[in-house]
């Protein structure tokens, strides 16, 4: 299965949502994200 994620999911994992981290790292599916997601995450890093 392929799953498309956005910046909100990445930020949620980075700030400590254990369930989100478990889902992302489970390997049960292929994660797809837009190229601009890196810039979006950087925008909210502080």
In tens digits, the chain (46 residues) has pLDDT values of: 999 998 888 888 888 878 888 888 888 999 999 989 988 888 877 6
Looking at the structure of the chain, the number of domains it has is 1
In the prediction, which pLDDT does 25 show?
86
pLDDT at residue number 32: 92
Q: Which domain holds residue 31?
A: 2-43
- Residue 8 burial (CB count, 10 A): 12
pLDDT at 2: 92
Spatial CA neighbour of 22 closest among 33, 9, 13, 10: 13
- Interatomic CA distance for residues 12 and 26, integer angstroms: 16
pTM: predicted TM-score of the whole model, two decimal places? 0.62
């Amino acid at each position: 299965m392929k799953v498309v994620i956005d910046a909100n999911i990445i930020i949620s994992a980075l700030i400590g949502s254990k369930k989100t981290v478990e889902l992302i790292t489970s390997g049960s599916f292929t994660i797809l994200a837009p190229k601009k997601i890196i810039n979006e995450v950087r925008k909210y890093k502080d």
